[in-house]
Structure 1
């Protein structure tokens, strides 16, 4: 479903139509909600001891990170991802929690960072050097 919506938004943007236009504010509101949800899941994962419950929570973390990646893709396509790079770079709590979960579950979150790095390299996102 996410890929379908993403394709529709891309096609709509290339056709110059405004009927499916999503505002930057709505996208950033979704980013903040996804980020809060991801942080909550990571915090829960670091506090859990039961292996079976932890696996379910790790699946939830992967889904949350995938949702975040979908939104980041849209931000990059709309060329409004510069503020998200700053937001992502300021996630010190996320970085600490990320280091505490098992390595095999870190991949999804790392993909967001990689996506941002590629977009910056290609010039799709312009950010200050300090960021």
Structure 2
């Protein structure tokens, strides 16, 4: 999974993503082991946190000097986060990611300092979360939903 998250080449990323998804689905079907499932969920969530940390650093860099390279790296991290969110939704454990995203006040405050295209990419994560909550794919408590709105509504 870490290789897929760090790969910049599109075709390799697509193949890697597909293989990881098949592996994770196979693990769940074969083992059915709660410990293994919990371990994978924690690993996926730690990967999300890693991507969020990277995204915040890129936003700080972009706020100082917005370049095409920074925008490309931000695009890659957003793609990673959307992919991880898909996995978490599929595994029915995306509420922890929703809470992580709700606590990204620093990222939200830097949003207006980067290119419009970059802001659009980040808004896709927020939109996916709200759509998932609305459709019942993501269970988020009232406090989490409220914090999501407080953090991201004005920023977007």
Same fold by TM (over 0.5)?
Answer: yes
Matched-pair contact (CA < 8 Å) for 1:6–1:74: no
Bigger proportion of residues as helix: 2
Aligned residue-pair number: 126
Q: TM-score, normalised by structure 2?
A: 0.72
- Structure 1 segments of 4+ aligned residues over 6 angstroms from their partners: none
Q: How far 1:95 moved relative to its partner?
A: 0.2
User: Where does the alignment leave 5 or more consecutive residues of structure 2 unmatched?
Assistant: 1-13, 145-156
Q: TM-score, normalised by structure 1?
A: 0.84
Bigger relative CO (Cα 8 Å, ≥ 6 apart): 1
Partner Cα distance (1:109, 1:9) in 2: 28
Partner Cα distance (1:57, 1:74) in 2: 26
Q: How far 1:17 moved relative to its partner?
A: 2.5
When the two chains are superposed, the root-mean-square deviation of aligned CA atoms in Å is 2.2
User: Where does the alignment leave 5 or more consecutive residues of structure 1 unmatched?
Assistant: none
Partner Cα distance (1:56, 1:68) in 2: 19
